[in-house]
Each structure stands twice: as C-alpha cells, then as structure tokens.
C-alpha cells in the first residue's frame, strides 16, 4: 500500500477563524444549473430520457467521483495504469463539481478541519440542512489564518490535469452537443442540467448526513467531527454512506467493511484489479497501528 500524501501544511492555521463568503463563479455555476433544471426538466420529460439520466448520473458518480477522484486520486487507496487513471478522473470531471485540483482542495481542507479539535460550521456541517447546502453550493470559506495546500507533482505538473482544471466547466458543452445529436434538447436538459444539479445536491446531502453523528463503530481521537454510517444506502451512494468506516480507515479502498455493507465502488475497483488495471489496493491498517481510534462501545 502506498504512503499517504500529506498536502496540508497547517502551521499557524486555525480552522475555526474566518468567514463564509459568496463565491460568485461557484454561485453562478451551481444555481444556474439548478434553475435551468427546474425550468426545463418538466417540459422535456420522457421515460427514455429519464432512464438515461439515471444511468449517466449513477455511473459517472460511481466510476468518476467515488472510485476515481475520491478513493484513487485523493486518498491513493489504489493505483491504476496511467491511461485508466486519466479516464477515471476525466469521468469525475464530467460529474460537474470541479476540476481535479479543485476537488482535492475542497476535500482536503474539509478533512483537515474536521480532524482538528475545533472547526467552523462550514466544515463541520452543524448548521441546519438548508443553510449548509446553500453554503456548499454558493460559498467559500475565507480563513483568517489559512493552511497551505500543496499538490503532488504527479498532478500539478501533468499537462492533462492542468488542462482539465482550467477547462472543467466547458466539458459540459461538449456533452451538450453530443446529447443534442443523440436525443435533441430533452437529453441536453436531463443529461447536463439535471444530471449536474442532482450530482452536486446529492453529493453534499450525503456529506451533510454522514458528518452528523449517527450509527458507526469508530471514534477518531481528537477530531471535532465524527462521521456516521447511513444504513441501507450503500447501493444508492455507491458505498460512500459508510463514512464512519472511511474516517477511521481512509487508506482502505473498500469502505463497506462490515457484513452487509454494500459498496459498489469497491466492486468496480475489484474488477479493475481482476483485469490487471489496478494494483496496490489499500486495506484497513493493522490493529497495532490504530492508536488514533477507539470503538464507540469502549
């Protein structure tokens, strides 16, 4: 298993000091997609288009975001042959949340803040659901004492990832042209506007409920935010609902660690491994290396 990459330098930083401010490009992107979806989706609905939307949304999130960006790119729980890695991250970009560098920054800052003894509600998701989702879709956190984040050269110096980061929004236009020729305007509306809106809303909704304490076996010592498992949602969330497990063992490619915890993204990673396309698969660290954890029953 690979050594974890530490991208955050938190010397002198404080995750609780700062202000939530509007991020205008983020606001225009997410709210624009959502408003467009609300206006045009009812006018263009058909069963075939809806089925296509469901399949595209689910598998782009499963393959691109969960297996590709989250478990491979961010946490490095496994490696892929280079062309497969690039395909997975490209599919993750097509989800429509951000470019690869932006996703790393969003994730790592939140994860760092949650593992401190205190952090702002922007990172802990302790406000009510509607206020939190508004923050996450339209705002950024401006630190008084910010940490620094450094991308590893593998991504920072790669022209392909640089291009994806600078152009990630425009790839939806390419999809829109393809969808128009395949299925006319209904597929454009459901394949771009509705898909991106549901992907972003769904992602942050699961994030919100997974970071408000509920069922789970593990407690991370010293962390101000303890994650939860959400029983019964493994299939719907491609395994990301087992977030208590993930906070305890971020090095593991498998998140559904207990019996009955369905983890579709893990099944996909296993298929890649079977085909010889993925290797160095991370597993939960040995019991002797779990001094940072205790079980909630203990």
What is the reported pLDDT for 102? Answer: 97
Indicate if the pLDDT at residue 298 is higher than 70. Answer: no
Per the prediction, the chain carries an average pLDDT of 95
Structure tokens at 64: 């691109």
- Please state the rounded mean pLDDT for residues 49-68: 97
Listed by start position, the domains of the chain span: 18-295
DSSP the chain: -PPPP--EE-TT--TTSEEEEE-HHHHHHHHHHHHHHHHHHHHH--HHHHHHHHHHHHHIIIIIIIIIIIIIIIT--SEE-HHHHHHHHHHHHHTSS--HHHHHHHHHHHHHHHTSS---HHHHT-S-HHHHHHHHHHEEEEESS--EE---HHHHT-HHHHHHHHHGGGHHHHHHHHHHHHHHHHHHIIIIIIHHHHHHHHHHHHHHHHTS--S-SEEETT-S----B-TT-TTTTTTTTBHHHHHH-TT-S----STT---HHHHHHHHHHHTTSEES---PPPGGG-TTEEETT-
Over residues 259-279, the mean pLDDT reads 97
Which of 4-8, 131-135, 143-147 bottoms out in mean pLDDT, i.e. has the lowest? 4-8
Q: What percent of the chain has pLDDT over 70?
A: 97
Axis crossing angle, helix 195-210 with helix 129-138, rounded to the nearest 10: 130
Q: Phi/psi of residue 125, each to 5°? A: 60, 40
Note the pLDDT tens digit of each residue in 3-27: 556 799 999 999 999 999 999 999 9
What is residue 247's predicted lDDT score, i.e. its pLDDT?
95
Chain segment 171-198, per-residue pLDDT in tens: 999 999 999 999 999 999 999 999 999 9
Confidence category of residue 60, pLDDT binned at 50, 70, 90: very high
Predicted pLDDT of residue 87: 98
Mean pLDDT of 274-282: 98
At residue 212, the pLDDT reads 85
Is the predicted pLDDT of residue 215 greater than 70, yes or no?
A: no
Q: Is the pLDDT of residue 244 over 80?
A: yes
- Mean pLDDT on 187-212: 96
In the predicted model, what is the mean pLDDT of residues 246-254?
97
pLDDT of residue 297: 58
């Amino acid at each position: 298993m690979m050594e974890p990459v530490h991208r955050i330098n938190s010397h002198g930083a404080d995750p609780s000091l700062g202000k939530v401010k509007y991020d205008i490009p983020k606001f225009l992107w997410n709210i624009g997609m959502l408003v467009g979806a609300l206006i045009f989706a009812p006018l263009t609905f058909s069963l075939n288009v809806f089925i296509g939307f469901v399949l595209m949304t689910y598998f782009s999130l499963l393959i691109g975001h969960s297996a590709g960006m989250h478990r491979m790119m961010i946490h490095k729980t496994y490696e892929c042959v280079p062309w497969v890695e690039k395909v997975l991250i490209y599919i993750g970009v097509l989800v429509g949340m951000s470019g690869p560098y932006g996703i790393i920054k969003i994730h790592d800052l939140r994860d760092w803040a949650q593992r401190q003894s205190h952090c702002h509600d922007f990172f802990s998701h302790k406000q009510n659901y509607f206020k939190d989702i508004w923050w996450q879709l339209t705002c950024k956190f401006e630190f008084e004492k910010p940490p620094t984040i450094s991308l590893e050269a593998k991504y920072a110096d790669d022209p392909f990832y640089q291009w994806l980061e600078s152009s990630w929004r425009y790839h939806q236009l390419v999809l829109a042209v393809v969808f128009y020729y395949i299925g006319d305007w209904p597929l454009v509306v459901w394949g771009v506007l509705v898909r991106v809106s549901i992907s972003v809303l769904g992602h942050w909704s699961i994030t919100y409920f997974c970071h408000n304490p509920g069922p789970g076996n593990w407690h991370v010592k010293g962390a101000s935010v303890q994650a939860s498992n959400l029983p019964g949602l493994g299939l719907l969330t491609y395994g990301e609902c087992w977030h208590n497990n993930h906070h305890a063992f971020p090095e593991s490619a498998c998140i559904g660690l207990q019996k009955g915890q369905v983890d579709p993204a893990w099944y996909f990673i296993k298929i890649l491994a079977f085909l010889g396309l993925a290797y160095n698969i991370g597993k939960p660290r040995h019991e002797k290396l779990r001094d940072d954890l205790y079980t909630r029953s203990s």
